[in-house]
Structure 1
Amino acid sequence: MRPLVVITASLSLTASGLAQTVPPKTQEPAPADAAKPAEPPVEPENSDGQPLDKLPRLPGFAASLANEPPITDVSGWKTLPDQDAWKAIVGSTERSRQSARWQLARSLLGKGRAPEAYGVLVAMGEDDPDLALVATYRLALGAALVGLGRFPDALAALSAELLATNPEACAWRMRALAGAAMPADALQQWACARPAIAARRGKTRATFMLAAADAALQANQPALALALVQKMPEADPAANLIRGRSLFRLDKVQDAKMRLNQAKGNGSPEQRVDARIALLEGLAERDLVKPKQAYDDLERLSYIWRGGQIERRGLMLRLKLATEMDNHPAMLRTGAALFRYHPAAMDSSILLAGLHDRLRMILAPESKISLPDAAGLFWEYRDLSPAGAGGDFLVSQLADRLQGARLYDRAAELLNYQMTARAKDVAQGPLSVRVAKLYILEGRPEQALRALRGSDGNIYPEEIVWDRLRMEAIALHLLGRTDEALAVLDGVPDGAAIRNEIEWSRRNWRAFVDSDRQLPTRPGQLTEVEQTVVLRRAVALAMLGREAALAQLRARYAAIFAELPTATAFDLLTGPVDQLDTEKIARAMAAMPTASPAGDVADLLTGAAPAAPKLSPRKTT
């Protein structure tokens, strides 16, 4: 046994910040009976009890920045030549590096280069988490996030209490709220933000004015929106977008079309798409364009531009047009895109309720949509189906229709989704039986077995356990693993009927005769199932050449079969064995009832009635 070596080390911080390590100390090995589990390593701590790896790597600047005057307008973002800013960073020490980084981030924000500024600010925050407590740092981070279009994150950064009445913070917060489709809240920031916006000039001022005008337009205040862009150039495409949409709201259709056509002519690709959507919005609202034509135009535009308010407005108009056309698939497709990618565009609960109604209409038996198309639509939007019993009913109803149309594979996939994604615990039991049956009907017993094995982890009532074992035995038999199938049936109620059906289908006459103890005992008329039992036993006995047993069978049931349509088959099968041949047996089996003692399971096991045996019966002495 190797000696137990315990190594202890302690770290202490010197005035220079260097760590000194105590050399390892070796102890004598302890007796085996006194061995104790090793103590977990203790993280080195500073004098305040904080782990050293959790301490700021470049501390100190957060307090210094907090003592600086707050940034209240654009003059606070002091710009520097990039070369000077980077030279300061390269020449900085650990003590001055955060200050040099701040000068660079502030300069980048002043130049409108938000992505680069965000990268610098994140690096600063990682090296000193205390910066998150400084209002000026959070203002800079929020401004960078607004420039990146990450409006919810920007609002979180700009929510510091010290920034509540800061004009510069109000201006950036207004832009974030307008971008997040919260127009009423954005307009509430205007009074606070106005001094900071007024201090700007040129494009930087126009950006904030356009955000305020867009918020006014979203809040259905078109006159205010027009006033906010009044002093902007007549050819400015961004201002003309606001003007065109506002003029439509004021019922000045011709003026609105002119402004939007101007934006289409000289705007950026994004502005041109925006102008086309705005034009369709105004024309559709006044029934000046056919709904289908407008819908088709919007659908084409969706391949050109994705994301942001432009896509959201296009989707909302498409949903409105699809509703007017009573086009269920289009409503479902458009509503699903709104719900998934723009949940804040409208009341999600109302939107979801509408989608549920459309799903029900599409899946209803009386729907004009073909069953394969309806199933495809449901499968594509299955995550939007109603929760609880309502959604379960939709799935079950659709699966019934698919099964009735012999689309077993699609019905199985649908119920398998129901079992794995929606059903929990014991509810998976009945579904697993139905899924396995559908896969067997489709001729995919391996998938049936996988569905059953994949839901093994629950505790089911006894009846469900028996049903699952029956399906498992059928799947195993169809996979050629008949011995395993017969073993699974041991102790299963009605397992004998399935076992006999298996032996009958594979012509195992001896096993069939030995296990068949289901001969009818009641006097009088025989049902079709009981006739099948007697006639099958006659076939097996004839094939084995057991004349004595056949004679007993004939004596027992001859009078009953004499009055039945199967009398001829009974006479042939129970007559002298040496007079039987394959042709006679074939005729007798063709006359046998199709009802099986195994019930519906027989169809799963064989798929069709077995053909007549080709071997001639053998005689026994």
Structure 2
Amino acid sequence: MRRLLIVALLASTAAAPPSDPAHAPADHGAAPAAPAADAATPAAAPAGRPVLPPFAATLAQMPIVTDSRDWPELSEEAAWDEIIHAKPETRQLARWHYVGSLIRRGMGAEALGVLETMESDDEDLALVAPFQLATGAALVMIGHNRDAVQALSLPELEGNAEACAWRVRALAGTGDAKAAARQINCAVPAINGRTPQERKPFTLAAARGAIAIGQGQPAIAWLKLFGEQDPQANLLRGKALLASGDPAEGLFRLSRAELSGSPEIQAEAKLAHIEGDLKLHRIDPSEGVKRLEALRYGWRGDEIEASALRLEYQLALETNNRRAALRSAATLFRFYRPDGDSGPMLKQIQTWLAEMLAPDSGTPLPEAAGLYWDYKELGPAGAEGDALALRLAERLQNAGLYPRAAELLQYQLMQRRQDVAQGPLSVKVASLFILSGDPVKALDTLHATEQASYSDAMRFDRKRIEAVALYKLGREDAAMAALDGVPGGSGVRSEIHWRTRNWGSFITENEATLPAPGAMTPPAQAIVLRQAVALAMLNQEAKLQALRARYGAAFKALPSAQAFDLLTQPSPTVDPARISAAMAAIPEASPTGAIGDLMDATSSTTG
């Protein structure tokens, strides 16, 4: 809140003449709401706000801060007096002096507010090393350590002692204590130049870095700055003593930190204690995993949990506990930025998933489906991921678990985004939704994955499935429209007409699919016999006799010969009993293959 207030005051100061009494120091505690809103969107400057001269080049030419004593030492009143009485050409300089005084006093949030105002008037300031040094320092003060590391990464700041000191803190704050250790030699002059009280957070960060690279003794020496009752110092002393080969004293110091520290210190001390017990073989890896899980149950959401998860994963690897390793790695990837070893970790997880989900793995189907769903975002990408998902979906489909299969493949489908591989996957997913009795979701899937880059064959496959979904929703006209211009569409149309008993339309569509006389497969027999039923129902005797003449010889040796004979016998009237008996003898093989199976699915959704 104070940061917004400062930004608002600086913006309003820039908008008014220096002599405006509204900007006197006495009014600093009562900033109106309107300037604060402007501070959130600095690009939209109020009308009348002067355009300030560029300041980036001027700042770049000024001596850079290399020591904490280089930051200006100004009182609040003196800093504001300079700002209020500054002319447009000196206003940015006055603001810069104020930033330095705020950093010197440890007021990071307030400093960021001023820096944002400065940058809104001159975007080139983001390219200037002193400005980024101030930004990085302010970000460290408010705990935004990753952003601080980025701000302090300019090449010009590489050997700057003050920048190195802030980088030590920032890197230690992100959990990368080894990287922090590499900055210590550069940072020592700037750290030592501070008062003992100011030096403490930097010393703690440096001690963490030294411990991370196994330099316990230097860390212990630095920690003499702190009293024997200081919980954070005892935490680091314990870690340093373990690293330098004094386990008994190290564990004792950790126990003291567990008793008297803040919840965060207690959690880190417990983690260090577990690490120490494992290193000294006081507990085995399986017991270590249990203790780490118990620790994470009560402490979540920061680098302590991330460190616990990394240790948990390593212990699970040692004991070949794949389930525990998957749980640990999944949490790391979901909630933290994995470290440099994330590549091998991900590869190992993907290999395990593929093995555990393979049809011959022995993993029960419900368990396999649960594993995939729990860790689906860790699975392989591209064609390998598609193959893994399709194998599992096929097992679910064979077991009649169509909704589970559809949901599983839909996740894989949507990960494809605009990849052309969405085409075949979309057909499969939509088909599974139809089999699940949910044609609405089938249509949604097809519409959500529409692309202009599909081949004609793929577009036609999708249109056929779309037609089936529309038919299942009772939208016969829309289904027919979807099949316009689709090769082989007459077969699907005739299937729909057959099921809706639209005999006249069926005869027209089915006629185009009649097979040549000769060897008659079950689907070919069904096409001919269905045509005979439709002709008989409409009493089209002449066409019926032509059908008998064309296919009579081919049916003589087939099990369906009697049905064909009954349907095509000359008869002046329709005999329902004769037709019913013949229909029962028609081969069950649908002329449209899988499309027929989809049409047979029971719908749970109506439209």
Q: TM-score band, normalised by the shorter chain?
A: 0.7 to 0.9
State the one-letter code of the partner of 1:350.
Answer: P
- Indicate if the aligned counterparts of 1:222 and 1:249 stay in contact, CA closer than 8 A: yes
Kindly state the Cα deviation for residue 601 of structure 1 after the two structures are TM-superposed: 1.8
Aligned pairs (5 A) from 1:160-179? 165-179=159-173
Kindly state the Cα deviation for residue 284 of structure 1 after the two structures are TM-superposed: 3.1
Aligned pairs (5 A) from 1:509-524? 509-517=503-511, 522=517
Q: 2: distance between equivalents of 1:526 and 1:61?
A: 86
Q: Given the superposition, is the C-alpha separation of residues 88 and 284 from structure 1 closer, same or farther in structure 2, using an over 3 Å criterion?
A: same
Aligned pairs (5 A) from 1:390-409? 390-409=384-403
Residue 197 of structure 1 corresponds to 191
In structure 1, which of residues 65, 69, 88 is the aligned counterpart of residue 81 of structure 2? Answer: 88
Aligned pairs (5 A) from 1:255-334? 255-302=249-296, 304-334=298-328
In structure 2, which of residues 122, 140, 144 is the aligned counterpart of residue 150 of structure 1? Answer: 144
In structure 2, which of residues 41, 52, 61 is the aligned counterpart of residue 57 of structure 1? Answer: 52
Q: 2: distance between equivalents of 1:108 and 1:186?
A: 25
In the alignment, structure 1 segments of 5+ residues that lack a partner are 1-15, 18-51, 609-621
- Indicate if the aligned counterparts of 2:83 and 2:95 stay in contact, CA closer than 8 A: no
| SS of 1:174 mapped into structure 2 | helix
Residue 4 of structure 1 corresponds to none
Q: 2: distance between equivalents of 1:288 and 1:204?
A: 39
- Indicate if the aligned counterparts of 1:181 and 1:345 stay in contact, CA closer than 8 A: no
Bigger mean CA deviation after superposition, 237-246 or 224-233: 224-233
Q: 1: distance between equivalents of 2:163 and 2:485?
A: 76
In structure 1, which of residues 515, 536, 557 is the aligned counterpart of residue 530 of structure 2? Answer: 536
Residue 465 of structure 2 corresponds to 471
In the alignment, structure 2 segments of 5+ residues that lack a partner are 1-16, 19-46, 603-607
State the one-letter code of the partner of 1:253.
Answer: P
Aligned pairs (5 A) from 1:493-508? 493-508=487-502
Q: 2: distance between equivalents of 1:511 and 1:132?
A: 73
Please list the CA deviations of residues 288-310 of structure 1 after superposition, one character each: whole Å capped at 9, or x if unmatched.
33545543443344354444432
Q: 2: distance between equivalents of 1:290 and 1:583?
A: 80
Percent identity between the two aligned chains: 45
State the one-letter code of the partner of 2:201.
Answer: T
Instruction: Give RMSD over aligned pairs.
Output: 4.0
Residue 329 of structure 2 corresponds to 335
Kindly state the Cα deviation for residue 134 of structure 1 after the two structures are TM-superposed: 6.4
Aligned pairs (5 A) from 1:405-420? 405-420=399-414
In structure 2, which of residues 226, 232, 239 is the aligned counterpart of residue 232 of structure 1? Answer: 226
Bigger mean CA deviation after superposition, 147-156 or 566-575: 566-575
Residue 237 of structure 2 corresponds to 243
In structure 1, which of residues 113, 117, 136 is the aligned counterpart of residue 111 of structure 2? Answer: 117
TM-score (norm 2): 0.77
Aligned pairs (5 A) from 1:443-592? 443-517=437-511, 522=517, 526-545=520-539, 564-566=558-560, 569-570=563-564, 573=567, 586-592=580-586
Kindly state the Cα deviation for residue 603 of structure 1 after the two structures are TM-superposed: 1.4
Bigger mean CA deviation after superposition, 254-263 or 504-513: 504-513
In structure 2, which of residues 337, 349, 355 is the aligned counterpart of residue 355 of structure 1? Answer: 349
Kindly state the Cα deviation for residue 156 of structure 1 after the two structures are TM-superposed: 4.6
State the one-letter code of the partner of 1:430.
Answer: P
Instruction: Confirm whether residue 221 of structure 1 aligns to residue 215 of structure 2.
Output: yes
State the one-letter code of the partner of 2:228.
Answer: E
Q: 2: distance between equivalents of 1:601 and 1:332?
A: 40
- Indicate if the aligned counterparts of 1:570 and 1:588 stay in contact, CA closer than 8 A: yes
Which protein, 1 or 2, shows the higher relative CO under an 8 Å CA cutoff with sep ≥ 6? 2
Instruction: Confirm whether residue 442 of structure 1 aligns to residue 436 of structure 2.
Output: yes
Residue 209 of structure 1 corresponds to 203
The structure having more radius of gyration, on CA atoms, is 1
Q: Given the superposition, is the C-alpha separation of residues 598 and 387 from structure 1 closer, same or farther in structure 2, using an over 3 Å criterion?
A: closer
Bigger mean CA deviation after superposition, 168-177 or 572-581: 572-581
Residue 26 of structure 1 corresponds to none
Q: Given the superposition, is the C-alpha separation of residues 546 and 216 from structure 1 closer, same or farther in structure 2, using an over 3 Å criterion?
A: same
Kindly state the Cα deviation for residue 163 of structure 1 after the two structures are TM-superposed: 5.0
Q: Given the superposition, is the C-alpha separation of residues 126 and 300 from structure 1 closer, same or farther in structure 2, using an over 3 Å criterion?
A: farther
In structure 2, which of residues 587, 590, 596 is the aligned counterpart of residue 596 of structure 1? Answer: 590
Q: 2: distance between equivalents of 1:67 and 1:521?
A: 93
Please list the CA deviations of residues 540-595 of structure 1 after superposition, one character each: whole Å capped at 9, or x if unmatched.
34433456666676677677766554455456555686998766655544343212
Q: Given the superposition, is the C-alpha separation of residues 452 and 191 from structure 1 closer, same or farther in structure 2, using an over 3 Å criterion?
A: closer
Structure having the larger proportion of residues in helix: 2
- Indicate if the aligned counterparts of 1:66 and 1:135 stay in contact, CA closer than 8 A: no
Instruction: Confirm whether residue 140 of structure 1 aligns to residue 100 of structure 2.
Output: no
- Indicate if the aligned counterparts of 2:430 and 2:465 stay in contact, CA closer than 8 A: yes
Q: Given the superposition, is the C-alpha separation of residues 466 and 144 from structure 1 closer, same or farther in structure 2, using an over 3 Å criterion?
A: closer
Q: Given the superposition, is the C-alpha separation of residues 53 and 369 from structure 1 closer, same or farther in structure 2, using an over 3 Å criterion?
A: farther
Q: Given the superposition, is the C-alpha separation of residues 571 and 144 from structure 1 closer, same or farther in structure 2, using an over 3 Å criterion?
A: same
Q: 2: distance between equivalents of 1:201 and 1:257?
A: 31
Kindly state the Cα deviation for residue 263 of structure 1 after the two structures are TM-superposed: 0.6
Q: Given the superposition, is the C-alpha separation of residues 279 and 476 from structure 1 closer, same or farther in structure 2, using an over 3 Å criterion?
A: same
Q: Given the superposition, is the C-alpha separation of residues 55 and 479 from structure 1 closer, same or farther in structure 2, using an over 3 Å criterion?
A: same
Please list the CA deviations of residues 237-282 of structure 1 after superposition, one character each: whole Å capped at 9, or x if unmatched.
1121112223333454332221111111111111111111111222
Bigger mean CA deviation after superposition, 167-176 or 91-100: 91-100
